[in-house]
Amino acid sequence: MKPVLFEFSFVKIYGYGLMIAIGIIAALFLLTYRSKKEQYNEDDIWNMSILVIIFGILGGKLLYIITDIRYIIEQPSVLKDIGNGFVIYGAILGGILAVWLYSIKKGWNTLSVCDLLVPSLPLAQGFGRIGCFLAGCCYGRVTTLPIGVEFNNSPFAPANLHLYPTQIFSSVFDFILAIFLLWYNRKERKKGRVFSLYLIIYSIGRFLIEYLRGDPRGNISIFSTSQFISLFIVIIGIGLFNIEKIKARLSK
């Protein structure tokens, strides 16, 4: 669509990178605003956020390498392109690890911090998917429906084909999920419920959207790699949502 949004002399502003930056900034502002209401120290929140971003990037890259290891062994040169190859579930898991480690250091309840942080995630993801649309990555399958879009100058998507705008589907879904989690957080005070709902709803949405994706991805049996991971994340989310009931039954 528009991989390069602006170009000034020798400086190029890429749509994907710009949307990622906007997403991170929006997520940080939302987190800062909500953390003040919960009386967290602002410096601590920003330090944790930096750690989450670093671990998220590393996690996303590491899971990409794991899930596509055969291709990487055949073509190791792909690792030279730092911006290419990223699995969102790896970023989520890496971010959760960072929250857990920082919460231990500060003596915070990890689930409470996850509830605080998690509405910012789909907000950032929503902007990131707009970046995917501008770059043409994560594109959909061929369709004859009028909602199809054509990419003519993308380094990723095939040109002159009507494709499902899966990036836009994902973006709208992520923004709606962020709004829902903010609403739900005002009603639910049990620790871990907001976080677990994110895991459940996001994974279900991702599982369904994968059926419309047309870009090359790894597969495990009849599922794409992301669908396979989604199944386990949904189970974990349901277990976490009902953790108190599970503990009560085990204690009998």
* Tens-place pLDDT, residues 23-79: 999 999 999 999 998 899 999 999 999 999 999 989 988 887 887 777 667 766 655
Share of the chain above pLDDT 70, in %: 94
Rounded to an integer, the average pLDDT of 232-240 is 95
159-175 average pLDDT score:
95
pLDDT at 82 over 60: no
Residue 201: which pLDDT band, with cuts at 50, 70 and 90?
very high
Domains in the chain: how many in total?
1
Helices (H), the chain: 15-37, 42-67, 69-74, 88-106, 110-117, 120-135, 166-187, 193-209, 225-241, 243-251
Name the residue among 139, 136, 162 with its Cα closest to residue 149: 162
* Amino acid 71: pLDDT: 64
**Which residue, chain included where needed, has tokens 């998917």?**
129
Mean pLDDT of the 144-157 span: 89
pLDDT for position 31? 96
Residues 104 and 152: their CA atoms lie apart, in Å, by 49
Residue 80: pLDDT band with limits 50, 70, 90: low
Mean pLDDT score of the chain: 89
> Does the pLDDT of residue 184 top 80, yes or no?
yes
Look at residue 172 in the predicted model and tell me its pLDDT: 98
pLDDT for 175? 98
* Structural contact between residues 226 and 89, judged by C-beta atoms closer than 8 angstroms: yes
Tell me: the pLDDT tens digits for 107-133? 999 999 999 999 999 999 999 999 999
Which residue has better confidence, 223 or 87?
223
Band (250; pLDDT cuts 50, 70, 90): confident
- Asked if pLDDT for residue 212 goes beyond 90, the answer is yes
Cβ–Cβ under 8 Å, residues 107 and 145 = no
| pLDDT score recorded for residue 168 | 96
- Please tell me the predicted confidence (pLDDT) of residue 77: 62
Please determine, for residue 84, whether its predicted confidence score (pLDDT) is greater than 70. Answer: no
User: Residue 11: is its pLDDT beyond 90?
Assistant: no
Enter the pTM of the model: 0.89
Provide the residue range defining the domain that includes 96: 4-251
Residue 214 pLDDT: 92
